[in-house]
Amino acid sequence: MANTTSAKKATRKIARRTIVNKSRRTQMRGAVRTVEEAIKSGDREAALKAMSRAEPELMKAAQRNIIHKNNASRKVSRLSQRIAKLAK
């Protein structure tokens, strides 16, 4: 347990940030899930629409250090590739 006043404050601050970060991570994962479901169903239009919502979510999460920026870029790239395959 934290002993100093500053350590106690840091613990409270971390707890508040954890709640916010969990919410953002959940929102991001939900956006990615909708893209994956659209791809799985084979609906290219729905996948593109979902991707236009998911990409900013991923990049925003990367900016806020919820996920690594390379991780976000990789997810966007792989999802885009899978959507492109639907056109064929």
Domain that holds residue 46: 12-87
- Which residues in the chain come in under a pLDDT of 50? none
Domain for residue 3, yes or no?
Answer: no
Q: What is the pLDDT of residue 40?
A: 96
Counting the structural domains of the chain, the total is 1
Domain for residue 1, yes or no?
Answer: no
Domain for residue 48, yes or no?
Answer: yes
Domain for residue 4, yes or no?
Answer: no
Q: What is the pLDDT of residue 65?
A: 95
Q: What is the pLDDT of residue 9?
A: 95
Q: What is the pLDDT of residue 59?
A: 97
pTM, 2 dp: 0.84
Query: Are 64 and 25 in contact, with CB atoms under 8 Å apart?
Result: no
Q: What is the pLDDT of residue 60?
A: 96
What is the CATH number for 36?
A: 1.20.58.110
Domain for residue 5, yes or no?
Answer: no
Q: What is the pLDDT of residue 63?
A: 97
Domain for residue 7, yes or no?
Answer: no
Q: What is the pLDDT of residue 14?
A: 96
